[in-house]
Amino acid sequence: MDFDTIPKTLDRFRPPPNLTDYRQAYRDFDWQQARIKDQGGGINIAFEAVDRHVQEEQGAQPALVWLGKQGERRVYSYGQLQGLSNRFANLLTDLGVARGDAVFSLCGRTPPLYAALLGSLKAGNVFCPLFSAFGPEPIRSRMEIGDARVLVSSARLYHKKVAPWRSELPHLRQVLLYDCQGDCPAGCLDLDLALSEASEIFTNCPTQAEDPALLHFTSGTTGPPKGALHVHEAVIHHGYSAWCALDLHPGDVYWCTADPGWVTGTSYGVIAPLCNRVTLVVDEAEFDPERWYRILADERVNVWYTAPTAIRMLMKVGDELVARFDLGALRFMASVGEPLNPEAVVWGQRVFGMPFHDNWWQTETGGIMLANFAAEPVKPGSMGQPLPGIRAGIVQVDEQGQLTELTTPGQVGELALRLGWPSMFRGYLHEEARYRNCFKGNWYLSGDLAYRDQDGYYWFVGRSKELIKSAGHLIGPFEVESVLLEHPAVAEAGVIGIPDEVAGEVVKAFVALKPGYEPDDELLKSLLAHARKRLGPAVAPREITIKDNLPKTRSGKIMRRLLRARELGLPPGDISTLESDEGDLHEK
Ligand code: ATP
Ligand code: MG
């Protein structure tokens, strides 16, 4: 490969054939130039996502294919998306919304959300997307934490979830509502009307690399959600990582199934793909296996980014359904959000003819940090290798606060990242001490436990808060859950530690079954026997409870802390991100 031909600016990534070349490309990348190009010395996420392509005469390319719940299909070109977001930016400016003020959205996956996100960034505002299925309380508390100045929502969601307490938020000045049907509530602005009257021409706010751009709340898997703040410079990592970890290339059709209410749905559901000039597919509807396969087939999706829960639900449905669709356009599949059990990777290979590429990152890291790359072998069950330019390590912090890097392959410790990547969060809003606690020297500590193998691949062990200490063994829930998932009857598994006088803690598992399996004693015996055989008696669950469903966050993560609290009769803690679940069916 001729490295002289490797592009020096954000917009011109080319596909190197292997990881060594990715590394070289990263080193050659001229960050300074990317920051200043066309930006009067600054950098703006929306410029990189939309305007750049229009400037380069690619404005006619479809940017967004929107699929409505009722079967509607709308296509927006890059040029149209620019026009829409410019209208929104003009509207904010006309309303006197100051640079840096927070704009919140409470929208389903509908076109106004995309206009608001990009328009807010253009106008120099901080954008915070909320998940539309949140109840009134989680919405309110997040808007309070984030000093929401503007809210963008639909008239329906506003009436249901915001109107009763709106007047109690002192900072909230403007509420912009779409789908008002000519009946805009008092004190709100009809967004559809206002946008239709706003100008399509807008000069972006000259934001700088360190200007706040996005506020994302974490999933609340291990405790109350934290508001992580990101800056405009993050776009460098967004554009770059989608190219090298998701294999995105200009002209690809790409579907990220995450809702923009979570960091994945914004960083990799909107910004990163647009930076790479791909066509985004957006589905307004909720998860439905048949609909999902139909979208993959009908839209000729090339690259698909989804999550372990969805994959496990598709596995639960079985292989017949997928066989009815022509998924010939699909080239690359990736997963994030939770550990992806090896069983799921293998299933992907069998059913789609390609593996799921697991990758790891957090709300705090702002972008993908570890990945199974297109150009490298996939190791089922592993989170992959650090992205070129990212230095990861396994570390241990002793009681004196001394940090040691563990360099022997297989040693389990905390997964840490060397500071300095562009998309790193710049703070937890109003939680300075907690933010500072995430760092030790020049390392960011992730709170996840992992080990690295001889080939440099990282393997997830568990969150440090969820590790089980049983009779001198440290047991990661993921290992036990993955083994349970190998059993043909198991669709989902969640594993916790419960106190035990002798062992300190013992392993307890909760499983949900695939259709057609009876939750009887016979099955429980077979599950226990399978676990003991594969894991040995010290690590295998002492007890298994069969449930209809496991409690999950709305971003699709198993809430082990809730399983534990319920098991031990403790208060449930913050369950603002909980998706409903159901009670026990059978226990052993
Ligand atoms: P909270 O911090 O509020 O408890 P959360 O950590 O679940 O919630 P996110 O930032 O959405 O919030 O999720 C990041 C976490 O998700 C990681 O720290 C890790 O525990 C888990 N995770 C993400 N991707 C993977 C993966 N590929 N394999 C294993 N775990 C993953
Ligand atoms: Mg977290």
Structural domains of the chain in order of their starting residue, each with its CATH number: 32-451 (3.40.50.12780), 470-568 (3.30.300.30)
Neighbours of 187 (CB within 10 A): 11
Question: Which residues are CB-contacts of 184 (< 8 A; sequence separation ≥ 6)?
Answer: 155, 177, 190, 193
Which residue puts its alpha carbon closest to atom 23 of ligand 1?
A: 337
Exposure of 518 in the CB half-sphere (CA atoms within 13 A): 3
Interval between CA 214 and ligand 1 midpoint (Å): 18
> Tell me, what's the pLDDT at 40?
53
**Which of 219, 437, 575 to mutate for ligand 1's pocket (most ligand atoms within 8 Å of CB)?**
219
Grouping H, G, I as helix, E, B as strand and the rest as coil, residue 356 is: strand
**Residue 142, number of CB atoms within 10 A of its CB:** 22
Residue 134 has a pLDDT of 87
- Which two three-digit tokens encode residue 265? 């749905």
Phi/psi at 148 (nearest 5 deg)?
-60, 125
> Nearest C-alpha to atom 29 of ligand 1 is from which residue?
339
User: Ligand 2 centre and the CA of 527: distance in Å?
Assistant: 31
Residue closest to 474 by CA, chosen among 450, 509, 440, 455: 450
Question: What ligand is nearest to the CA atom of residue 557?
Answer: 1
For 229, the enclosing helix (H) or strand (E) is strand 227-231
Q: Which of 429, 437, 557 to mutate to test the pocket of ligand 1 (most atoms within 8 A of CB)?
A: 557
Centre of ligand 1 from the C-alpha of residue 478, in Å = 13
Nearest CA to ligand 1 atom 1: 220
Strand order in the sheet with 102-106: 189-190, 174-178, 148-154, 102-106, 126-130, 212-217, 227-231, 427-428
Query: Which tokens in the block code for residue 283?
Result: 């589905």
Nearest CA to ligand 1 atom 15: 362
pLDDT in tens, the chain (588 residues): 222 222 333 333 444 445 565 555 555 555 544 544 445 557 899 999 999 899 989 999 999 999 999 999 999 999 999 999 999 999 999 999 999 999 999 999 999 999 999 999 999 999 999 999 888 988 999 999 999 999 999 999 999 999 999 999 989 999 999 999 989 999 999 999 999 999 999 999 989 888 999 999 998 888 888 999 999 989 988 988 998 899 999 999 999 999 999 999 999 999 999 999 999 999 999 999 999 999 999 999 999 999 999 999 999 999 999 999 999 999 999 999 999 999 999 999 999 999 999 999 999 999 999 999 888 889 999 999 998 888 999 999 999 999 999 999 999 999 999 998 889 999 999 999 999 999 999 999 999 999 999 999 999 999 988 889 888 788 889 989 999 999 999 999 999 999 998 888 999 999 999 999 999 999 999 999 999 999 888 889 999 999 999 999 988 899 999 999 999 999 989 898 998 664 444 444
Q: Checking DSSP bridges between strand 552-553 and strand 439-440, what pairing results, if any?
A: unpaired
Ligand 1 center from residue 346 Cα (angstroms): 22
What was the pLDDT predicted at 8? Answer: 34
Backbone CA torsion sign across 38, 43, 46, 50:
positive
Distance CA 426, CA 435 (A): 8
Distance CA 438, CA 220 (A): 16
Q: Which of 263, 363, 467 to mutate to test the pocket of ligand 1 (most atoms within 8 A of CB)?
A: 363
- Pocket of ligand 1, beta carbon within 6 A: 218-223, 225-226, 336-340, 358-360, 362-363, 383, 446, 448, 460, 463, 555, 557
Ligand 2 centroid, distance to 563 Cα (angstroms): 18
How far apart are alpha carbons 200 and 113 in whole angstroms?
Answer: 17
Closest-lying ligand 1 atom to the alpha carbon of residue 447? 18
Type of residue at 323: A
Contacts of residue 328, defined as CB under 8 A and 6 or more positions apart, other chains included, come to none
| pLDDT at 41 (0 to 100) | 55
Residue at token pair 């349970």: 484
Q: Which atom of ligand 1 is nearest to the CA of 383?
A: 27
Mutate to test the pocket of ligand 1, among 131, 215, 217, 221 (most ligand atoms within 8 A of CB): 221
- The number of the ligand 1 atom at minimal distance from the alpha carbon of 446 is 18
Nearest CA to ligand 1 atom 17: 362
